[in-house]
Amino acid sequence: MSTAPTRHSGVTRILHGLLMLAVLWQLIGSNFIQRPKVGRIANGMYEAHEVVGLATLGLVVAFWIWALVRRGETPVGALFPWFSAQRLKAVKDDAVRYLRAARHLSLPDEGDNTPLASATHGLGLLAALAMGSSGAWLFTMAIPGGTVMQFHKFMATFMWAYVVGHAGLALLHQSLGHPVLQRMFGRLPAPAADAPAPQRATQAGTHGR
């Protein structure tokens, strides 16, 4: 299974950036909203939360559609490997490799389309879809509450954990000299024409690829 660094398309970068900003706005802004109750109207931040929430759901749906039709980037099967024994084994092996590297205060750098990284991205997309869908359901209720509200809050907590973990790991990779931010938001320099091919093959063999 190839783990060469993915060159993300412009559409992927734009959708990823917009979705990241929208989710952060929703998570942070949720601390300042006043939900409507009997005898109490919602405040402006709550109304903004509703509007941005619907827009966020639209971005998530757009990202899902784009993931299905794009070519040359992470396939949908890698984002959701849970129904393939072969892909699940690849995720497990990748997780073991990360743990072994962490014991030596290091992290492997083979791009952001490794089995573990791709599966983690898929979980983030599922969480964003669940949070946005439950929020859209609450939007249809005069006084939001009940089981749907509890589920929405739970998914928000999960999304906080995902965002902090995802961003923290990206910054850790960056501090170790791995150009993860450039891969997503910038441009990687073109590989040198005289780069020794056997070196890549040796690295692949070392990681059991």
Reported as a single tens digit per residue, the pLDDT across 115-164 is 998 999 999 999 999 999 999 999 988 777 789 999 999 999 999 999 99
Dist. CA 81–CA 88, nearest whole Å: 6
pLDDT in tens, 10-49: 898 899 889 999 999 999 999 999 988 878 888 999 999 9
Domain 10-186+196-206: give its CATH code.
1.20.950
Q: Where are the domains of the chain?
A: 10-186+196-206
Q: What is the pLDDT of residues 99-123, one digit of tens each?
A: 888 888 777 766 667 899 899 999 9
Q: Which residues contact 134 (CB under 8 A, 6 or more apart)?
A: 148, 151, 152, 155
Confidence check: pLDDT of 206 > 80 = no
